[in-house]
């Protein structure tokens, strides 16, 4: 049986200089992240797009590391973070004071209004001892996908097309579930064998532009069938999918190591009546009870 949800897969076109990735997210990777914090709908939609984008870009990497998509602005959502690491996804959005009330009855709000003036930051963190790679682009696009396209075009000098879609699946009286889909395609550079690839890229881009949000999140339309629907004239080939899941990297050990760097007086002031330090992961909402002695308090 072919797995159609919570996957990322590479694809290529035989008759055009295109390589890409397709992502489908559902109950195992996206839905728990968005339901965990009960975000207002416009914020949940934007975070879902960021998680899909993190999976697309993270799967491009040929080296192990944590890919972080971070949007920082001055709007109702001053911070948006989505991470991809070895197939695991986690995300978090910070709302400004009063933002939840302002967005309570809103359906969709443009990213420019939610995030405000600021930057989209893409970071590859390879762990201790290795300097992270970081790319920054202004939040000037009308969508998160458009901002990412600008980054690839200006910072990486690679023609890139990105489509992201997020929505809710409603099934009678059952609780709704969040779904997302995304496609990233890039132009392969010209060489002696390929010659000038601009015309072929333009033809593929026209086909790519026909994909709809409904197709990207339709649970009945598998990733392979969607790619065939878009690019069958170009000889599309999709590789074996890689699974994605909802996975947080927090741990008591990591949290304790961070808190050891806090001033001792500050830590003592945080000790609760039960004699422990209470800490909550902003991503997965897991709560930790830390012994003061473990952090020198």
**Greater model confidence, 163 or 252:** 163
| Residue 1 in domain | no
> What pLDDT is attached to residue 225?
95
3-state secondary structure 233-259: HHCEEECCCEECEECCCCCHHHHHHHH
Does one domain contain both 157 and 268? no
Nearest to 183 by CA among 114, 236, 118: 236
State the average pLDDT for the chain.
89
Average pLDDT over residues 222-239: 95
Please state which of the ranges 6-15, 62-71, 157-166 shows the lowest mean pLDDT: 62-71
Q: Which residues of 233-250 are buried (b: 16+ CB within 10 A; e: fewer)?
A: ebebebeebbebebbbeb
Where does residue 150 rank: exposed (0-12), middle (13-18), buried (19+ CB within 10 A)? Answer: middle
CB atoms within 10 A of CB 193: 5
Task: Give, to the nearest 10 degrees, the angle between helix 41-58 and helix 144-155.
Answer: 30
- Kindly indicate the confidence band of residue 62, based on its pLDDT and cuts at 50, 70 and 90: confident
Residues linked to residue 185 through DSSP beta bridges, in sequence order: 20, 161
Q: CA separation (Å) from 227 to 140, 160, 185?
A: 29, 17, 11
Tokens representing 130 are 């290795």
H-run or E-run covering 81: strand 79-85
> What pLDDT is attached to residue 111?
86
For the cut 50, the answer to whether the pLDDT of residue 77 exceeds it is: yes
Does one domain contain both 276 and 151? no
Q: Note the pLDDT tens digit of each residue in 100-126.
A: 999 988 888 888 889 988 999 999 988
> What pLDDT is attached to residue 282?
86
Average pLDDT over residues 190-200: 74
| Residue 215 in domain | yes
DSSP state of 100: H
| Residue 231 in domain | yes
Does one domain contain both 221 and 274? no
Average pLDDT over residues 37-62: 93
Does one domain contain both 262 and 200? no
Does one domain contain both 240 and 256? no
> What pLDDT is attached to residue 193?
66
d(CA 25, CA 47): 13
Residues linked to residue 168 through DSSP beta bridges, in sequence order: 178
> What pLDDT is attached to residue 3?
62
Please indicate, yes or no, whether the overall pTM of this predicted structure exceeds 0.75: yes
> What pLDDT is attached to residue 1?
44
Task: Report the CATH number that the domain containing residue 265 is assigned in CATH.
Answer: 3.90.1280.10
- Kindly indicate the confidence band of residue 202, based on its pLDDT and cuts at 50, 70 and 90: very high
For the cut 90, the answer to whether the pLDDT of residue 167 exceeds it is: yes
For residue 36, give its domain range.
7-246
Does one domain contain both 241 and 265? no
Average pLDDT over residues 133-148: 89
Percentage of the chain with pLDDT > 90? 56
Average pLDDT over residues 272-294: 85
Does one domain contain both 117 and 174? yes
DSSP 3-50: --SSEEEEEEESSSSEEEEEEEE-TTTTHHHHHHHT--HHHHHHHHHH
Give me the number of domains the chain comprises. 2
Task: Report the CATH number that the domain containing residue 46 is assigned in CATH.
Answer: 3.55.30.10
Does one domain contain both 65 and 140? yes
**Greater model confidence, 21 or 175:** 21
| Residue 44 in domain | yes
Does one domain contain both 259 and 177? no
Nearest to 66 by CA among 53, 52, 82, 50: 82
Does one domain contain both 261 and 136? no
Does one domain contain both 96 and 205? yes
> What pLDDT is attached to residue 194?
65
For the chain, what is the total number of helices (H) and then of strands (E)? 10, 14
Does one domain contain both 225 and 256? no
Q: Roughly how many angstroms between the first and final C-alpha of the chain, as a whole number?
A: 54
- Kindly indicate the confidence band of residue 294, based on its pLDDT and cuts at 50, 70 and 90: confident
For the cut 90, the answer to whether the pLDDT of residue 60 exceeds it is: no
H-run or E-run covering 134: strand 133-138
């Amino acid at each position: 049986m072919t797995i159609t949800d919570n996957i990322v897969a590479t694809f290529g076109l035989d008759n055009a200089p295109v390589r890409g990735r397709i992502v489908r997210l559902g109950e195992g990777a996206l839905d728990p992240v968005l339901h965990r914090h009960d975000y207002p709908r416009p914020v949940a939609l934007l975070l879902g797009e960021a998680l899909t984008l993190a999976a697309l870009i993270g799967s491009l990497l040929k080296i192990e590391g944590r890919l972080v998509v971070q949007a920082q602005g001055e709007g109702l959502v001053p911070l948006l973070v989505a991470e991809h690491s070895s197939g695991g996804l986690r995300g978090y959005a910070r709302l400004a004071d009063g933002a939840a009330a302002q967005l309570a009855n809103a359906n969709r709000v443009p990213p420019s209004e939610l995030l405000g003036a600021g930057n989209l930051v893409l970071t590859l963190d390879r762990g201790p001892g290795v300097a992270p790679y970081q790319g920054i682009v202004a939040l000037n696009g009308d969508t998160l996908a458009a901002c990412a396209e600008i980054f690839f075009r200006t910072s990486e000098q690679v023609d890139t097309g990105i489509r992201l879609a997020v929505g809710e699946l409603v099934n009678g009286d059952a609780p709704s579930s969040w779904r997302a889909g995304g496609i990233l395609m890039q132009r392969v550079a010209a060489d002696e064998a390929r010659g000038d690839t601009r015309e072929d890229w333009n033809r593929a881009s026209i086909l790519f532009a026909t994909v709809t949000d409904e197709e990207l999140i339709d649970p009945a339309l598998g990733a392979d069938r969607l790619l065939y629907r878009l690019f069958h004239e170009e000889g599309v080939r999709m590789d074996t999918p890689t699974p994605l899941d909802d996975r947080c990297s927090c741990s008591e050990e990591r949290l304790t190591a961070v808190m050891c760097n806090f001033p001792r007086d500050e830590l003592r002031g945080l000790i609760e009546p039960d004699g422990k330090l209470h800490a909550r992961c902003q991503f997965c909402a897991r709560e930790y009870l830390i012994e003061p002695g473990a952090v020198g308090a």
